[in-house]
Amino acid sequence: MDERRTVKTSKRLSRLLRHDPGAFGLTLDEGGWVAVDALLAAFAERGNRLSRRDLDHVVETNNKRRFAYSEDGRRIRANQGHTVAVDLGLSATEPPAVLYHGTADRTLPAILAEGLRPMSRQDVHLSADVATAVKVGSRHGRPAVLRVAAAELAATGHEFRLSANGVWLTDTVPPGYLTRHDLG
């Protein structure tokens, strides 16, 4: 599978497993899982040739580790980023002292005034390092990085969860726990 096809397939999987499973006639279970056989059949019905080997390649080589197989390998889901309602079954986890959020520079005034909200997604996404936050922010324009006082927020009873691919998830971050991180 060449790189162009891998990226195209990954984007299509993201759409189906995070946002619009109905586009291919799929239904996610409450945990966000769908049977691999059903997914491959849905691709085939629409003239999109995708073998299990190709799917394995996309899952294994995705640089953001967006997808995961169930323990028995018969189901697949996105690790986070859903706009459709799913329960990933992630337990509350004590976060590190500081987490980071990458965004576009133009959104900073609103975020610093209102805090971080999930917008169309189920959760706010945070990273453990500045480099990842910069990459995320760069997708939306000139990047800006916010420093999140995660441990301080968690001490108030606020819940954090860690996805299978290392993305920290939470429902909101109030503005008092945010500061702009200087990118130098």
| pLDDT attached to residue 64 | 84
Over residues 80-104, the mean pLDDT reads 94
Half-sphere exposure of 116 (CA within 13 A, CB side): 28
Burial environment of residue 74 by CB neighbours within 10 A (0 to 12, 13 to 18, 19 or more): exposed
- From CA 157, how far away is CA 2, in angstroms rounded? 47
Looking at the predicted structure, is the pLDDT value of residue 91 above 90?
A: yes
For residue 26, name the pLDDT band (cuts at 50, 70, 90): very high
| pLDDT attached to residue 131 | 95
For residue 101, name the pLDDT band (cuts at 50, 70, 90): very high
For residue 44, name the pLDDT band (cuts at 50, 70, 90): very high
Full set of structural domains in the chain with CATH? 3-78 (1.10.10.970), 99-181 (3.20.170.30)
Which residues neighbour 86 within 8 Å (Cβ) at sequence distance 6 or greater? Answer: 28, 30, 31, 32, 77, 122
